[in-house]
Chains A and B, each alone.
Chain A
Amino acid sequence: MLPLPVIQVLQVLTIAGAAPGVSGVIARAEARLQGRRGPRVLQPYYDLAKLFRKEALAPEGASWVFLAAPVGAFTCYLTVPLLIPVLTAFPLPLGYMGDILGGGFILSLAGFLVAVAALSTGSPYAQLGASRAKTFAAITEPVVLFVVFTVALLTATDLPYALAATVRSSAGQIIRPAHVLAAAALFMVILHETGRIPVETHSGTNEFGMIEEARPFEHSGPYYALLKWGSAAKQLILYTILLNVFIAPWGLAATGAPVAVLIAMVALPAKACALGCVVAVIDDSFAKLRLFKITEFAAAAFLLAVLGVLTVYLGGG
């Protein structure tokens, strides 16, 4: 039996270690679907190593926030894995520090720090990206809230561990419309939050359509590496919430046995890569929405989330 604090640290290390790899798999899958050879799966790790060796520059007049924000944001991203079921089916000691909303707050704090850093640069593109990111975050916020309402109605709590256990408990809990709708709405929010088609091109350099990707334009060297690593970690965290709480809470360690934890450490990246391939298919089969059409995407996600609450609150569906 591994001590619980060790498992908790392993959760953070799994997320931080596997995140660039998951990004690499998605980039590779996307390229293969387009008929290109694509970058190596390990390319994000090489990129990070290269950036960490480079010199860091800050624009003239940028305040201390500019350099503090990447570190702060990265800290936030590594705090969330303490709260969610990454490796274990049972709650770990710090798992009760925050519920789903608590995790959401920490993720938005990270987004806020990056936005403030982008604002302090004075660069128009970084500021544009920050302002857009905050605007669209505001319209996807209600969707997340309604998803949390659904979870609360289904489990009488909003602890992610409770929903995962509920989903595992019977097939009826998986097929019920409230669960299907909430999971679909959350998936749409995740597409938005990770900057994927149809909201944003993930790896393009088209400044006009950029939202999240435009924010770190002025960062360089290790600070840029932290931001890139952070956004990969955020992507894996969101995938983990969708997989281990909503759609596939299997393969988690039921006890603290080293073998079970090891299996979970392999299972999570594997599941995330499978989900990433689905995302790559979506990336390659839809066009990017025009900026002013993103509200329609958010409205569709909101529709799913509200219907989820309605079916369970007024009919037990």
Chain B
Amino acid sequence: MRAVPWPPGLPAALAPPAPAPSVYAGTANVIAVLILLAEFAMFRQALLRGQVRLYAGQSVLLAALAVLVGADRGLPELYVLAGVTIALKAVAIPLVLRRLLRDTEPDDPMSAGHDIAGSGGLSLASTVLIGIAVAAFGFFAAVALPVRGGGAPVTALSVSLSVVLVAIVAMIHRRDVASQAIGLFSLENGISLAALVVAASLPLIVEVALLVDLLLAVVVFGLLIRLHHGRAESLSTTGLTSLRG
């Protein structure tokens, strides 16, 4: 690409443009931001099937980031991590979730795929505004942290904090058990993203242990979803408020 100098004729008092991050840092940050945007997209998703698909997509993005960091920093174990992430989060967990959801699927063919469009507590625009506020808090909080990462660029750390916080908003906002479970799993994606920034060379065994933990959470949530569905005949948690004294 031909480098074009600062155009002549601009007032001399103008500062030069902000320094550009390297292409690696820019790409890594864009992937991190896409992970955050996938989290926001969960607010809007109207079908549980779509929600699961979003989670799988988000996990693939995370694996792509791991490959990128591994390639740039020369950490081959990150390739293994990316492989395990895809196998587990983008294939196995969505499969398990889909099977669970099929069992709880209502007989009504019109509601195939579980319509959860109305399960949000607030209007979509308000939820997104709350999400933006929470994400901004994550950004401000990350700047205060004395982390100067060795792996992915530091902006990705701010993004990962935002992913965690926005996932919590998504869990609070939705009133069906399955979306809440997926919210929790995607929260774990945020934590993995933070791990990539802070300690890219985290021993593989620790990371794999974390992933197995996640598998355990899936099993527990699966039981919870089935139990709740067996008792309440629905995935919605609105009926639970009647337990109040």
Contacts and interface: CB of A to CB of B under 8 A. Distances in A.
Interface stretch (B28-36, B49-57, B94-102, B200-208): B28-36
Given A169-B3, A307-B33, A155 B155 contact: no
A177 B30 contact: yes
B128 interface: yes
Contacts, number: 141
Nearest to A153: B18
* Main DSSP-derived SS at the B contact region: helix
A1 interface: no
A104 interface: no
Contacts of B240: none
Contact of B23 (A172, A307, A312): A172
Nearest to A172: B20
Contacts of A154: 17-18
A295 to B, nearest CB: 4
A171 interface: yes
A298 B129 CA distance: 11
Contact of A180 (B15, B20, B25, B30): B30
A74 interface: no
A170 B26 CA distance: 12
Contacts of A165: 4-7, 10, 17
Nearest to A154: B18
A81 to B, nearest CB: 18
Contacts of A314: 139-140, 142-143, 158
A89 B125 contact: no
A183 B57 CA distance: 23
A307 B135 contact: yes
Given A175-B26, A300-B128, A302-B132, A168 B4 contact: yes
Given A306-B132, A317-B21, A317-B155, A171 B1 contact: yes
A155 B153 contact: no
B154 interface: yes
Contacts of A315: 29, 139, 142-143, 154-155, 158
B29 A91 contact: no
B22 interface: yes
A159 B15 CA distance: 12
A175 B23 contact: yes
Interface in A280-296: 295-296
Most chain B beta-carbon neighbours within 10 Å: one of A295, A296, A314: A314
B131 interface: yes
Contacts of A173: 17, 20
B184 to A, nearest CB: 22
B226 to A, nearest CB: 33
A153 B22 CA distance: 18
A299 B40 CA distance: 11
A311 B7 contact: no
Given A173-B17, A296-B44, A311 B10 contact: no
A316 B8 CA distance: 26
Contacts of B136: 306, 310
A155 B15 CA distance: 8
Given A312-B18, A317-B21, A162 B10 contact: yes
Contacts of B125: 295-296, 298-299
A162 B132 contact: no
9 contacts: A91-B7, A161-B7, A168-B3, A169-B17, A175-B30, A296-B44, A299-B124, A302-B129, A317-B33
Interface of A: 89-91, 153-157, 159, 161-162, 165-166, 168-177, 180-181, 254, 295-296, 298-300, 302-304, 306-307, 310-312, 314-317
Interface of B: 1-10, 14-23, 25-27, 29-30, 32-33, 36-37, 40, 44, 124-125, 128-129, 131-132, 135-136, 139-140, 142-143, 153-155, 158-159
